[in-house]
Amino acid sequence: MNPQTLKIDGARLLQRLRDLGRFGALEGGGTNRLALSDADRAARDWTVAQMQALDMAVAVDAIGNVVATYAGTEALPPVMTGSHIDTVRTGGLYDGNYGVMAGLEVVATLRDAGLRPRRPIQVAFFTNEEGARFQPDMLGSLVLVGGLPLQQALAVPAVDNGALLGDELQRIGYAGSAPVGRPVVDSFVELHIEQGPVLEQQATAIGVVEGVQGICWMEFTFDGTSNHAGTTPMALRHDAGECAMRTAVFVAELVARYGGRQLGTVGALQIRPNLINVIPNQAVMTVDLRNTDGQRLRNAQAEVLAFARAMALRSGVQFQHRQLADFAPVAFDADLVASVERHARAQGLSTLRMPSGAGHDAQMLARVCPTAMVFVPSAGGLSHNVREHTAPEQLEQGANVLLQVLLERAGR
């Protein structure tokens, strides 16, 4: 059999995605599967069972990453694919899950055909990619490649109940023994939905991802003085809420001033005591800054931080700053990117070279091996939403591109 004629089973892939979506299912078709929750444990157990049914050797490392290996004909460094199966509270069926299930479908296709490439193929899912319960995001893959010390990661508290990550790994049975910090991987290819509108708007089948933009997450805390809203003159107020709101406006104005690929979001803002007639004594806010240009991202971070500090000083308010995430832009391997483009076009699919606007595990693996990503369209650009959707034929197209790229890499 000519490996270049192999095709994945689209119906089987779609069924896997639907079956995985049962764990933490939400009304409307989405999922709530926060990292290391009971729903995550159930989804992990089910996914591991799928891996074992494909005669893959399954290993769990010390941060809970799960890596399944389909043996090659030679003991060479493996070609890896995969993503994550944790979700945000209002997640869809495809974000992360698609990359893992498509990896298993690639292995199922090879197994059905009786084919084993020269190099092993690994399918992985990484712990806490979303960062919705433990911070930073992409924590599992970051620990895997040695970018975050294991003990520091295990001591991270959950944002929902304060439980430590290490304790939660033990609780759900995924505190593994495989080592972290120095993975031996030939290359890594991650298949993912775009999570944005570009491919759909341009009627393009495959996004050839050239890299991931840099991400900076910050948390600001302003502490002022509560007082009566009707009797305290404006000039005598120490208004924590005003500081936060003016900083939020500054972020929007900065993004407009920078232009290009600069993005900025104030995603969370909590004001206390949150009463209509009381001057706020505390405001806690988050700032999310992103850019493909590392220097401009650093400049934006410095400007926002300086403005927040100046606002606090002017208002007689105490200010604290906490860095939640700080990842530089990542450029993917040129040869592997070209391989994605070549195999997509060989299948008659239109392509677009593009950056990733979201963070992905692939950017962490890029620290240790050649890495690339494949995008398929997201209907309406929706993601982190129960209505997240990608058409079955588009899911199949992406998985077929992944199949051929992995075969080429594993055949070397």
Residues 90 and 101 grouped into a single domain: yes
Residues 134 and 24 grouped into a single domain: yes
Q: 384 labelled as ligand-binding?
A: yes
Which pLDDT tens digit goes with each residue over 347-360? Answer: 999 999 999 988 89
In this prediction, residue 97 carries a pLDDT of 98
- pTM (2 decimals)? 0.88
Residues 320 and 241 grouped into a single domain: yes
Residue percentage of the chain with pLDDT more than 90: 95
Using DSSP's 3-state secondary structure scheme, residue 17 falls into helix
Which pLDDT tens digit goes with each residue over 77-95? Answer: 999 999 999 999 999 999 9
- DSSP-assigned states of every residue in 281-347: SEEEEEEEEEESSHHHHHHHHHHHHHHHHHHHHHHT-EEEEEEEEEE--EEPPHHHHHHHHHHHHHT
Domain count, the chain: 2
Residues 54 and 185 grouped into a single domain: yes
Q: How confident is the model at residue 262 (pLDDT cuts 50, 70, 90)?
A: very high
Residues 358 and 321 grouped into a single domain: no
Q: How confident is the model at residue 106 (pLDDT cuts 50, 70, 90)?
A: very high
Cβ 17 vs Cβ 83: under 8 Å: no
Burial class (CB in 10 A: 0-12, 13-18, 19+), 90: middle
Residues 301 and 175 grouped into a single domain: no
Using DSSP's 3-state secondary structure scheme, residue 228 falls into strand
Q: How confident is the model at residue 28 (pLDDT cuts 50, 70, 90)?
A: confident
Q: 95 labelled as ligand-binding?
A: yes
Q: Looking at residue 178, which CATH number applies to its domain?
A: 3.40.630.10
**Is the pLDDT assigned to residue 211 strictly greater than 90?**
yes
Report, as an integer, the average pLDDT of 317-338.
Answer: 95
Q: 228 labelled as ligand-binding?
A: no
Residues 207 and 344 grouped into a single domain: yes
Residues 199 and 340 grouped into a single domain: yes
**Is the pLDDT assigned to residue 325 strictly greater than 90?**
no
**Is the pLDDT assigned to residue 276 strictly greater than 90?**
yes
Report, as an integer, the average pLDDT of 5-18.
Answer: 97
Residues 181 and 219 grouped into a single domain: no
Using DSSP's 3-state secondary structure scheme, residue 16 falls into helix
Answer with the one of 297, 327, 357 that is the final residue of a domain: 327
Name the helix (H) or strand (E) containing 263. strand 263-265
Residues 118 and 242 grouped into a single domain: no
In this prediction, residue 327 carries a pLDDT of 86
Report, as an integer, the average pLDDT of 161-167.
Answer: 97
Query: Cα(124)–Cα(176) distance, rounded to whole angstroms?
Result: 14
**Is the pLDDT assigned to residue 269 strictly greater than 80?**
yes
Answer with the one of 327, 344, 366 that is the final residue of a domain: 327
Query: Cα(179)–Cα(183) distance, rounded to whole angstroms?
Result: 8
Tell me how crowded residue 252 is: count the other CB atoms within 10 A of its CB: 12
**Is the pLDDT assigned to residue 1 strictly greater than 80?**
no
Answer with the one of 327, 342, 371 that is the final residue of a domain: 327
| Range(s) of the domain holding residue 52 | 3-213+330-410
Contacts of 318 (CB under 8 A, 6+ apart): 222, 223, 224, 312
Using DSSP's 3-state secondary structure scheme, residue 35 falls into coil
Query: In the predicted model, what is the mean pLDDT of the chain?
Result: 97
Query: Cα(382)–Cα(392) distance, rounded to whole angstroms?
Result: 16
In this prediction, residue 159 carries a pLDDT of 93
Name residue 215's beta-bridge partners.
290, 327
In this prediction, residue 196 carries a pLDDT of 95
Phi, psi (rounded to 5 degrees) for 223: -120, 115
Q: Looking at residue 268, which CATH number applies to its domain?
A: 3.30.70.360
Residues 204 and 275 grouped into a single domain: no
Residues 245 and 317 grouped into a single domain: yes
Name residue 212's beta-bridge partners.
330, 356
In this prediction, residue 370 carries a pLDDT of 98
Residue percentage of the chain with pLDDT more than 70: 100
